[in-house]
């Protein structure tokens, strides 16, 4: 049987893996939506009204865009 500490570590790793997979999905979605094979793509992320999106809100903004796509 797996001890309690080991199970907590496994649970923490599963949570972290889910976070990393979500980050990877965001990146892949951005690349797919803005694929440019002949030039470097530079992204300027803006919210409604053209206001910059704070870095802490960027993941949520990308998630919302992914859900609408």
pTM score, whole prediction: 0.58
3-state SS track over the chain: CCCHHHHHHHHHHHHHHHHHHHHHHHHHHHHHHCCCCCCCCCCCCECHHHCECCHHHHHHHHHHHHHHC
Note the pLDDT of residue 54. Answer: 75
What is the residue-level pLDDT of the chain in tens, covering all 69 positions? Answer: 679 999 999 999 999 999 999 999 988 887 777 665 555 555 566 777 777 777 678 888 888 888 887
Give pLDDT, residue 45.
66
Single out the residue of 51, 54, 31 nearest to residue 43, CA to CA: 31
Distance of alpha carbon 15 from alpha carbon 1, whole angstroms = 21
Q: What is the pLDDT of residue 35?
A: 64
């Amino acid at each position: 049987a797996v001890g309690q500490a080991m199970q907590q570590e496994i649970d923490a790793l599963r949570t972290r893996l889910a976070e990393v997979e979500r980050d990877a999905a965001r990146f892949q979605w951005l690349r797919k939506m803005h694929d440019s094979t002949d030039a470097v793509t530079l992204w300027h992320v803006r919210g409604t009204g053209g206001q910059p999106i704070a870095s802490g809100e960027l993941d949520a903004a990308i998630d919302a865009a992914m859900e609408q796509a």
